[in-house]
Amino acid sequence: MSESFGLRLWNAVEAHGPLCVGIDPHSSLLDAWGLSDDAAGAERFGRTVVEALAGRVPVVKPQSAFFERFGSAGVLALERTIADARAAGLLVVTDVKRGDIGTTAAAYAHAYLDPASPLCSDALTVSPYLGFGSLQPFLDAAEAHGGGVFVLALTSNPEGPQVQHARTPDGRTVAGTMLAAVAAHNAGQSPQGSVGVVIGATIGDTAEDLAVNGPLLVPGLGAQGGGADDLRRLFGPVARYVLPSMSREILGAGPDLGRLAEAASRAGDLYATVLR
C-alpha cells in the first residue's frame, strides 16, 4: 500500500471517530441473534456487523479464536469477514496475539499482513514475551506491505502483572521495556507510527510512559469494567492516540442493523468527546 497503516488509521479516526468494534461470534451472541453456533452462523454474524458499521466506525477487530473453533470452515468465515470489512472501507485489526521466533513468526506475518494471503488484514495483535526482537518478522512485513502491529503491553487480565510488572536488570518493568521499544521504532514518523500497543482500560494507575507515537488499542471498556473516566485518567496527554475497543455493548444490539449502527454511533460520540 502507498500509505502506512499509521496514516490510514489517523485519517480514518479523523473521519469516523476513534471507536474500534470487536467482531466476536461467541456462542451466547450467536444464540441471542438467532444464529447457528457453527461456521455459517459466525460468517453471517461477521457480515452483519460489517454491513451495519461500515462508514460509522474506523476499525473493526475480529477475534480469530471465535472463528477458529469451527476449524477450516471457521477460518474461511474469518477470511470472508475480513475481506468484506476491507472492501467496505473499514480498517481490520485481526486479534490473534501471535508470537514466535524466526521462520515461524515470518509465516504468521505472511498470513496476516501479506496481500497474497486470504487472511490479509490492516494490522494484527502480537505477543512480545519471547523478547521484543522476536517481533522483527512482523515489523518487517508491516513495513513492506503498509500494515500495522499492535504489541501487548499492559493487559487487563489479573495475571498480566506477574510478567508485565516484573523488573528487568536495568530497573525498568517488562512492560516499560516493550513500550520504550515501540516508541523507538516509531520515532520520527508522522502523524504516528504503524506499531501500536495494547493497554487495558482496567489496569489502574500506571507510571509507565505511554507516549509511543503510535496507536493505543484499549480494550476492557463497558462490560469488562472500564469507562470514560479511566481513559481520562490513564491517557490524558496521549488521548489523541487512543483507539477504544468495545464488543459486547455494541454487538448485543444486533442482529438489527439499525440498532447496531445506533449503538456504535452512541459509543463513538461518547469516546470522541472524551478523547478530543
Whether 97 is catalytic: yes
Burial of 151 (0-12, 13-18, 19+ CB in 10 A): buried
Sign of CA dihedral 123, 129, 133, 134: negative
The gap from C-alpha 17 to its chain's centroid, in whole angstroms, comes to 15
Q: At what angle do helices 257-275 and 228-235 cross, to 10 degrees?
A: 40
The cell numbers describing 223, all together, are: 462490560
Residue with cell 454511533: 265
Give the separation between CA 53 and CA 262, rounded to whole angstroms.
Answer: 9
CA-CA distance, 256 to 144, in Å (whole number)? Answer: 39
- Within 10 A of 232 (CB to CB), how many other CB atoms are there? 12
Per the residue annotation, which of 69, 86, 97, 259 is the catalytic one? 97
Could you give the residue numbers annotated as active site? 97
